[in-house]
Amino acid sequence: MEWGFFGAAIGAGIVTLGAGLGIGNIASHAMDGIARQPEASGKIFTPMIVAAALIEGVAFFNAVICMLIALK
């Protein structure tokens, strides 16, 4: 039983790291694009938010899966 909790904790940590790195990468490249072309900020900002929301959705889904494994 305790190995399930350990595995779920490791999985949730990896999911959190992956989501943080993904959103950080998106934001970094978006800010770089806006710095190069300030007039395109509207065209860059919306897809950036959509991509960040999709990454958060996947991270939340994986965190729920880790919790389900822990409570099995």
CATH code of residue 56:
1.20.20.10
Domain that residue 28 falls in = 2-70
Could you report the per-residue pLDDT of 27-68, keeping only the tens digit for each?
999 999 999 999 999 899 999 999 999 999 999 998 888 888
User: What's the pLDDT score for residue 7?
Assistant: 82
- The answer for residues whose C-beta is within 8 angstroms of residue 7's C-beta and 6 or more apart is 66, 69, 70
Alpha helices for 1-72 (secondary structure H): 2-36, 41-70
Pick 9 or 24 by higher pLDDT. 24
User: What's the pLDDT score for residue 56?
Assistant: 92
User: What's the pLDDT score for residue 4?
Assistant: 76
Q: Return the structure tokens found at 41.
A: 């900020």
* pLDDT at position 1 over 70: no
**Into how many domains does the chain fold?**
1
Q: What is the mean pLDDT of residues 3-12?
A: 83
